[in-house]
Copies of this chain bind each other. A is one copy, B any other.
Amino acid sequence: MALTIDPSGSVTSPQGFVAGATYAGMKTSGEGKLDVALLASQLPCSVAATFTKNLLHSASVDINRARLAGGPARAVVVNAGIANSSTGTRGLADGERATELAGERLGIDPREVLICSTGVIGHFLPMEKIESGISAITVTSAGGHDFARAIMTTDTRPKHASVRFGPYTLGGCTKGSGMIHPNMATMLAFLTTDASVAAGYLQRTLSGVVERSFNLLSIDGDTSPSDTALLFANGGAGGTVIDTGAPLAGEFEEALEMLCTYLAKEMARDGEGATKLIEFRVSGAASVGEARSVVRALSTSYLLKSAVHGADPNWGRIVAVVGRSGVAVSEPAVTVSICGVCVFEGEQPTSFDAERVSEAMRSDTVVIEVELGAGDGSATGWGCDLSAEYVSINADYHT
């Protein structure tokens, strides 16, 4: 049976997961604002995680790495508004204290609690607000939507979904709108499943899927020090353990990739100042790695992002990016399509109807396809257009 995304799903769609959130006063206030959240499994879990490759990462990332080296976790506390990054040893102590408070509230061992923090770099966590916030949270099996809203910063809308595979459900949510060029994970992604999944297989599968989904997303080329993806599998729906070669392993991986890809595209679409999603499909590369390099060069080009904003079928900028992307390429073999129309082949522009392509580019999704004619490697990635609004958001988002 073909898998399908349920956009109304969330991290509490799988059985045995509960979540909740409250407003503790870290974000500027506003109707319905939430900024501290808890997610927990009512059952023991296997956990997989990927973290930022930014060498100057947040205290939360350090804490999570240490916790997961010691054993599995089953809960996470998240705060939005303050990243707790570049905060030294005090940042580590504050983050650990927050996990203790969360463990107390949830009635579980604090060593089973992870922490994610997102927001301004270099500010200390306001521990009184964190403490009163955590004590005010009630977690329920309907709390997934509040959780998805609480983790937002410059996001304009929450991103959450679920996928059913076999008798199981996989749920997830992400946040991220700026400083998005994930390298190993994306800003923050929380994924849950009520299947029982072997830990090693869970981690390998998550790592592979992240490479093909979140890591091929770029909003502005900047990699955050807080990037984290967490996947909890609690077996709440019963059944046998999914491991390499198990009957449902293929379907599990497919469901995970579908969910992560959906969430990556939702993030691109909600990129800071973005008015549309751009999907980059690169084929004919000498390797998958080279195809990914071209995707990332395209998705980070100021010129191309600006051209898409202006609905300009500027294939010249696409060719120029391909040429500087660092992969071996020969111009006669390159073809470029925009919104399904071939605009460049045989070293020359085709006689395409520029008005018609420009009109197609005014929709909310623009697909750019590049065929390199050098091999079988392909990759698809996502980005967004560059608008004046992006500059306003980031010129005014003061430290």
Query: CB within 8 Å of B: which residues of A?
Result: 53-57, 83, 85-89, 120-122, 178-179, 181, 183, 220-225, 300-303, 306-307, 309-310, 312-317, 319-324, 328-332, 334, 344, 346-349, 354, 386-388, 390-399
Contact = CB atoms under 8 A, between A and B. Distances in A.
Contact of A399 (B57, B315, B395): B315
B310 A398 contact: yes
A214 to B, nearest CB: 15
Nearest to A325: B55
Number of copies: 2
By Cβ-Cβ distance, the 7 closest A-B pairs, closest first, are A310-B395, A121-B316, A56-B323, A388-B388, A306-B394, A88-B347, A223-B324
21 contacts: A56-B319, A56-B334, A57-B323, A85-B320, A86-B347, A86-B348, A88-B332, A88-B346, A121-B317, A121-B319, A121-B320, A122-B349, A181-B324, A220-B303, A221-B300, A221-B302, A225-B323, A306-B393, A306-B395, A312-B399, A390-B391
A320 B54 contact: yes
Contacts of A354: 399
A179 to B, nearest CB: 6
Identify the interface centre among A56, A328, A348: most chain B CB within 10 Å of its CB. A56
A383 to B, nearest CB: 12
Contacts of A314: 397-399
Given A315-B399, A316-B399, A87 B122 contact: no
Contact of A391 (B321, B349, B391): B391
A181 B313 CA distance: 22
A302 to B, nearest CB: 4
A313 B399 contact: yes
A321 B222 contact: yes
Identify the interface centre among A83, A121, A178, A321: most chain B CB within 10 Å of its CB. A121
A86 B225 contact: no
B222 A310 contact: no
A357 to B, nearest CB: 10
A152 to B, nearest CB: 18
A224 B317 CA distance: 9
A301 B181 CA distance: 11
B312 A86 contact: no
Contacts of A307: 394-395, 397
Contacts of A320: 54, 56, 85, 121, 179, 222-225
